[in-house]
A and B are shown apart, each in its own frame.
Chain A
Amino acid sequence: MNKNRLIFFGITAAISLLYVYMTWIFAPPDVVLGENIRIFFQHVAPALVAYGLFGGTLLCGLMYLWQGDLKYDIIGAVSIKLGLLFTTITLLSGMMWADAAWGTPWNWDPRETTTLILWIAYACILAYRASVSDREARAQFGSIFGIVAFPMVILSYLSIRIWNTLHPIVIEASGLQMEVEHMMTLLVAMIAVTMIALIMVELTYKVDSAQEKLMRIRMSRS
């Protein structure tokens, strides 16, 4: 393991510990939500990172179509897998929060519904990719699919502004609408989850690239 990577891992570990400390000890209970505010940090940070990962799929799709380099397709597929993982965390933590705040885990709130649709949509892209056996076609058509599916991400993000919803609008043009301690905790949570996601992207990319190489060796031998 090279030195730079080791430093990055160290910083991520330190910020992750700070994230745990700030979430569970530093952040004071909310006036309305009480102790349940702690779920908020486990909910918002993965949600924004998931949006970022799906945005990564869009960018990788464009890059693959432009340059034809298979590494962009592999990173795009990795972004979908990890985006799904973070969306799952978002949905589960959201359900816990909804149960505590609104008395039921699922309310068919526009944000909940569009996030579930987003999960299904990107799972569909993975299923589609698996159904195309030709590697080049999978990369080419999978990239196009990743690009045209992106409007769903925008709709999911904007859903709380378009529809009447139970979700509070936290991120305004004027800044974050919350207490300073909560704002600081959310910022640290965002940095920690983003760094963890980047490490996961790199590791998964390596595994998938190795699998790709292995597959090519097997095919050339057979």
Chain B
Amino acid sequence: MTSGLSAAIAIAKKDIIIQLRKKFEVFSMFLFALIAVLSFSFALVSQGSIPEDVGSAMLWVIIFFMGMFGFAPIFLSESETGTLRGLATAPIPAWSVYVGKVIYGFVLMGMVEIFLVPIISLLFGFSFLDNLPLTIAVLCVGTLDLAAVGAMASALTMPSEAKATVFPLVYFPTATSGLILLIEITKIIVLGPGLIPVMLLFEILLAHLIAMLTLSASVFHFALTP
């Protein structure tokens, strides 16, 4: 278990270092998010503002779409450079490869979100300051949930002939359930307590994350063995 986790951290570290050397991918994701903010503003801004609940919901929609950029190459790059075989034959459990990629996806998205969340909050005119600890917890769990789904979706696109087209088809069905919960929780944080207790939704989101991680990690060795 410990060796598996240290292998996962080593894989994540390797990917993060490669990513930091490239730089342009993180910057491209950030720019894509800003373009999305602008595009949505054309449809949503009415009399100089956007309703708070709509704005906060758009935050996760933008992060969801940004994930398509960030998560799609997670395994495809390994497959294209021929290093996937090395990962598959390495003397480490298959789940540690998956967990390593999830950690990498989480860090990658986190790097963009640090800048993106305050900007979107400012432009769309909503504030998370009413419940900052819960906001940080939701951002962490939500991003981890999307990374867990995105890493698995990237692995699933490997055998497909139309990889670029197929990734959204795999990412959407698995990520939507988490996305709905994230949007709902964020709306409640921004608007204040509603009819639904926010902690119940947060617990369901946590359960979703645990279910996705467990399901994916337990079947991941089938995705690595051709």
Contact = CB atoms under 8 A, between A and B. Distances in A.
Are A and B genuine complex partners? yes
Contact of B195 (A65, A122, A152, A164): A164
B191 interface: no
Contact of A152 (B177, B184, B222, B223): B177
Interface in A84-135: 113-114, 117, 120-122, 124-125, 127-128, 131-134
A40 interface: no
A162 B200 contact: yes
A133 B184 contact: no
A30 B223 CA distance: 52
A132 B159 contact: yes
Contacts of A113: 180
Contacts of B215: 147-148, 150-151
B180 A155 contact: yes
A138 interface: yes
Contacts of B166: 127-128, 131
A151 B177 contact: yes
Contacts of B177: 117, 151-152, 155
Nearest to A142: B156
Interface stretch (B57-65, B115-123, B204-212): B204-212
Interface string A48-78: 0000000000000000010000000000000
Interface in A129-181: 131-134, 137-138, 140-141, 143-145, 147-152, 155, 158, 162-164
Given A114-B180, A151-B212, A163-B196, A131 B162 contact: yes
Interface in A18-40: none
A145 B157 CA distance: 10
A148 B216 contact: yes
What is the interface residue range for chain B against chain A? 20 to 34
Contacts of B86: none
A57 to B, nearest CB: 12
Nearest to B219: A144
Contacts of B174: 121, 148-149, 151-152
A152 B166 CA distance: 19
Given A147-B219, A148-B216, A124 B195 contact: no
A160 B204 CA distance: 14
B83 interface: no
A132 B172 contact: no
A19 B60 CA distance: 45
Nearest to A124: B169
A150 B219 CA distance: 14
B173 A152 contact: yes
Contacts of A158: 204
Interface of A: 65, 113-114, 117, 120-122, 124-125, 127-128, 131-134, 137-138, 140-141, 143-145, 147-152, 155, 158, 162-164
8 contacts: A65-B219, A138-B159, A140-B222, A143-B219, A148-B219, A151-B212, A155-B177, A164-B195
